[in-house]
């Protein structure tokens, strides 16, 4: 009897262990399937993270989509009219663009009336416009300096004074690169993401044999001589602000001492926030992602730092208050939402998590035009209760730790201290999207030129990206900006040139009007370009 009982208990134990193993395998299968569905969506689905609030809302509030900043529309009478076909409103040409007029006339022998034979006269003109592109051309600029001597001294004296005319210093001594040439190469690589080997091919098509090695040498030499002092000045200026954003991304450097070519290096980014009058952006190349990198860079900084959830930022000194990013949290809930079947998305917990985040972002849109003081008060009144409600809901959830929803709820709970920090000051922002947008220029370039060859090249890239992205953020034309720097920096202090490296900062009053990009003429046009 005891033997049968023991055998029965052993069988029950084996069955129990197998059931447990089956449940674990089933959970693992669900996790792997969710990764497959997420991977398929990332590869084949829409990249936008926008949701249809009308269909996805789990709060069922009609007023959730109301925008209080939009004024009531005026009722006007619209008269019947005919529309004239024209270019799209987003296609704008500068008003001062040169116009080339081509007249199309009848030959003299055909200027007679086909009925009576009398001469024809011009009664009107039909006009159409075309945009004509003239490819860039290269010219050789010869600087010829006159050398003067005195005829009288040549005749009567054993000493003849020689006077030379002023001639501007070149951007690279003993080189044949002009400021415009280096600015063009830099703009093509760091703005248009055209690698040097591709530019080399383009030069050859125009009959100019200019190697990528020569172009690389020009970029690095001009950077060390003239851009690095500006870069250091931007760094000093940026650390004086009280609110900054930070982010980082990978970079491959082939010939880095002590590391394999396949290993990862990092490009760190630090920038001012929306409260700053003039925006400043710094790219900082480092061989790794250790927390000492931001700690060293920010040693003279004290204030608020927007960042993602990377643990390295949380080890910074106490005088730096790290502000978390709700966009990262929303993205995790959105990933959990994407893997669900369409019919189960609307009432899911993932959808509710996205909805909470959307409501907070919608409130921030309402507060956008407020002063920092009033924004702080409105957040205390409206946003803080919603954040508390969100966390009460998160704590009530039961989720599998390895599921995407489980990872989203864990991120929300572990990052709560930092996510709530944006409520501390009206100057702070709800997300770190400002830093991610600035980093995008570098990421797009990396997809094309893939890697840096040496640490010197990686640092030069960081300096060029710092000046170029800062220029773009402040409405400057990168090519004109760099060309002006390379013209003035070698001749600093001379009459007609800049007097100090601070004159090259985007906030300087010494910048000429021509280096600023044309601004939209009206708000409607501005919105069209910003959407692009």
The burial of 205, by beta-carbon neighbours within 10 Å (0-12 exposed, 13-18 middle, 19 or more buried), is given as exposed
How many other CB atoms sit within 10 Å of the CB of residue 411? Answer: 18
- 105-123 in b/e form (b: 16+ CB < 10 A) is eeeeeeeeeeeeeeeeeee
Q: What is the rounded CA–CA span in Å between residue 341 and residue 33?
A: 12
pLDDT given at position 317: 96
pTM of the model: 0.81
What's the distance, CA 222 to chain centroid? 24
Q: What is the rounded CA–CA span in Å between residue 352 and residue 188?
A: 45
In order, the DSSP letters of 146-172 are: -EEE-HHHHHH-S---EEE---PPPSS
β-pairing, 265-272 with 243-251?
antiparallel
pLDDT given at position 224: 95
What's the distance, CA 360 to chain centroid? 24
What's the distance, CA 165 to chain centroid? 45
pLDDT given at position 21: 79
Residue ranges covered by each domain of the chain: 181-233+450-531, 244-438
Q: CA separation (Å) from 40 to 48, 245, 385, 406? A: 14, 32, 37, 20
Run of H or E residues at 28: helix 2-44
Q: What is the rounded CA–CA span in Å between residue 419 and residue 147?
A: 69
Angle (CA) 176 181 184, round 5°: 160
Q: What is the rounded CA–CA span in Å between residue 389 and residue 393?
A: 6
Q: What is the rounded CA–CA span in Å between residue 307 and residue 245?
A: 6
pLDDT given at position 320: 97
Q: What is the rounded CA–CA span in Å between residue 326 and residue 185?
A: 38
Q: What is the rounded CA–CA span in Å between residue 427 and residue 372?
A: 5
**Token reading at 353:** 């998590």
Residues contacting 331, CB < 8 A, separation 6+: 49
The number of residues in the chain equals 532
pLDDT per residue, tens digit, the chain (532 aa), is: 567 667 777 777 778 777 777 877 776 676 676 667 666 666 665 656 666 654 445 454 544 445 555 555 555 555 555 454 455 556 777 777 889 999 989 898 888 888 888 888 888 888 888 888 888 788 999 999 999 998 888 888 888 888 898 999 999 998 899 999 999 999 999 999 999 999 999 999 888 999 999 999 999 999 999 999 999 999 999 999 999 999 999 999 998 988 888 899 999 999 999 999 999 999 999 999 999 999 999 999 999 999 999 999 999 999 999 999 999 999 999 999 988 888 888 889 999 999 999 999 999 999 999 999 999 999 999 999 999 999 999 999 988 888 899 999 999 999 999 999 999 999 999 999 999 999 999 999 999 988 898 999 999 999 999 999 999 999 999 999 999 999 999 999 998 899 888 999 988 989 999 999 876 555 444 443 343 3
Q: With beta carbons less than 8 A apart as the criterion, state whether 247 and 269 touch.
A: yes
């Amino acid at each position: 009897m005891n033997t049968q009982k023991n055998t029965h208990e052993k069988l029950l134990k084996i069955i129990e262990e197998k059931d447990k193993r089956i449940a674990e395998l089933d959970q693992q299968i669900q996790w792997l399937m969710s990764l497959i569905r997420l991977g398929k969506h990332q590869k084949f689905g829409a990249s936008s993270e926008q949701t249809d609030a009308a269909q996805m809302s789990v709060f069922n509030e009609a007023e959730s989509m109301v925008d209080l900043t939009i004024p009531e529309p005026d009722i006007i009478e619209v008269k019947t009219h005919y529309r004239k076909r024209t270019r799209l409103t987003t296609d704008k040409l500068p008003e001062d663009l040169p116009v080339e007029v081509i007249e199309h006339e009848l030959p003299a022998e055909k200027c007679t009336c086909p009925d009576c034979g009398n001469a024809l006269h011009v009664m009107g003109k039909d006009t159409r416009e075309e945009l004509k592109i003239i490819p860039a051309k290269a010219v050789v600029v010869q600087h010829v300096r006159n050398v003067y001597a005195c005829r009288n001294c040549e005749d009567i004296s054993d000493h003849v004074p020689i006077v030379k005319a002023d001639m501007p210093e070149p951007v690279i001594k003993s080189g044949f690169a002009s400021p415009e040439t280096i600015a063009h190469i830099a703009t093509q690589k760091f703005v248009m993401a055209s690698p040097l080997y591709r530019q080399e091919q383009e030069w050859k098509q125009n009959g100019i044999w200019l190697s990528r090695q020569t172009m690389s040498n020009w970029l690095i030499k001009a950077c060390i001589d003239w851009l690095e002092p500006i870069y250091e000045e931007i760094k000093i200026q940026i650390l004086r602000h009280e609110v900054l954003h930070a982010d980082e991304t990978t970079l491959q450097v082939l010939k880095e001492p002590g590391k394999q070519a396949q290993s990862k290096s990092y490009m760190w980014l630090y920038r001012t926030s929306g409260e700053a009058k003039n925006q400043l952006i710094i790219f900082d190349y480092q061989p790794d992602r250790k927390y000492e990198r931001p700690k060293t860079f920010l040693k003279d900084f004290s204030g608020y730092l927007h960042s993602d959830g990377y643990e390295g930022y949380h080890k910074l000194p106490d005088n730096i208050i790290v502000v978390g990013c709700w966009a990262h949290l929303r993205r995790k809930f959105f990933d959990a939402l994407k893997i669900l079947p369409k019919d189960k998305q609307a009432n899911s917990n993932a959808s509710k998590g996205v909805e909470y985040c959307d409501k907070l972002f919608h409130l921030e849109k309402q507060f956008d035009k407020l002063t920092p003081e009033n924004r702080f008060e409105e957040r205390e009144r409206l946003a803080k209760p919603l954040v508390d409600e969100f966390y009460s809901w998160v704590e009530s959830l039961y989720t599998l730790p390895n599921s995407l929803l489980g990872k989203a709820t864990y991120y929300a709970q572990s990052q709560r201290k930092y996510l709530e920090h944006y409520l501390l000051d009206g100057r702070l922002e709800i997300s770190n999207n400002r830093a991610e947008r600035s980093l995008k220029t570098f990421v797009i370039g990396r997809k094309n030129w893939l890697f840096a060859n040496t640490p010197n090249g990686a640092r030069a890239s960081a300096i060029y990206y710092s000046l170029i992205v800062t220029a773009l953020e402040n409405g400057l034309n990168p090519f004109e900006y760099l060309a002006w720097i390379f013209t003035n920096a070698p001749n600093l202090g001379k009459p007609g040139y800049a007097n100090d490296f601070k004159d090259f900062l985007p906030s300087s009053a010494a910048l000429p009007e021509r280096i600023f990009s044309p601004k939209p003429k009206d708000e409607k046009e501005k919105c069209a370009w910003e959407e692009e």
